[in-house]
Amino acid sequence: MPEDRRFARLVGCAQSTALQILKRSAMVIQTEYRDTDPEISTTLFTEVFFRRSGESPAQQHPSAEQSAVNQHLAEDAENKQSDNDESNSEEANLTADEVMSDTEREVYAHITFEPIQLDDLLEKLPHLDIGRILASLTTLEVAGLVQSLPGGIYLRIKTAGSSGSLFTLITDANLQSFRRIKEFIFSLYHGVSRKHLEKYVALFWFFFKREQWKSGELLKLCASIGHISGRQITQSVTPPLMKIPIACLAVPDIFS
């Protein structure tokens, strides 16, 4: 049973009301994040996107919302890169492109400053077999154009003057922590929408660090923040790079 339904039974209200209370609480909890907390790409949480929102593309799986965000970011990165190319030396810019094979150039075109998983590359390039794609990725890595991350994730390497989103702190241990967060979301909410992902990560942080919250502290915080309207909840959208409490980068095995 989803946690919002359990909460509704516990307090004796409609499930929709319980869900609004949880989202409001999450938005309050987010105000406790620190300026030094890192940002991570929501791409890492695509597996939990099983609920639709106003941002979800029509007649598509809820995870298509992330694909739409990635597409927008890719187009934005290409436009910014084009502007940078015009301002830099044409010879220097052509050097990397000239040494690429047609396959490497095609693979590189689908890799942006936002992380992309190997499975997504295979879907985008169905006419290329996995061997050719992996060989191209290896060549691009050696050339210093692409970086590989744990979990079969790839992204472009920022060069001097290039623009792109900040993507930091991706290690095997951190990816393990993100897996625990996804398990929490699955076990309690049976999936969420990308639009509201950051709220559920905030609820996880509250659960994970619950012993550090004194009795009544969340209630006092809610009172200090004031009323959060339904419109504020509806209009809030998780950004492509989501701030996450640094404690969430070192989550123990809480589900074992």
List pLDDT tens digits, range 209-220. Answer: 888 888 899 999
Q: What is the pLDDT of residue 183?
A: 92
In the predicted structure, residue 90 carries a pLDDT above the cut 50: no
Q: What is the pLDDT of residue 51?
A: 93
- Who's near 233: CB < 8 A, 6+ residues apart? 20, 23, 24, 27
- Who's near 134: CB < 8 A, 6+ residues apart? 118
Q: What is the pLDDT of residue 85?
A: 54
Enumerate domains of the chain plus CATH numbers. 3-56+169-249 (no CATH), 89-156 (1.10.10.10)
What confidence tier does 163 reach under pLDDT thresholds 50, 70, 90?
very low
The answer to whether 146 and 156 are in contact (CB under 8 A) is: yes
Q: What is the pLDDT of residue 170?
A: 58
pTM of the model: 0.68
Crossing angle of helices 15-30/217-225, nearest 10°?
90
Rounded Cα distance between 120 and 123, Å, is 5
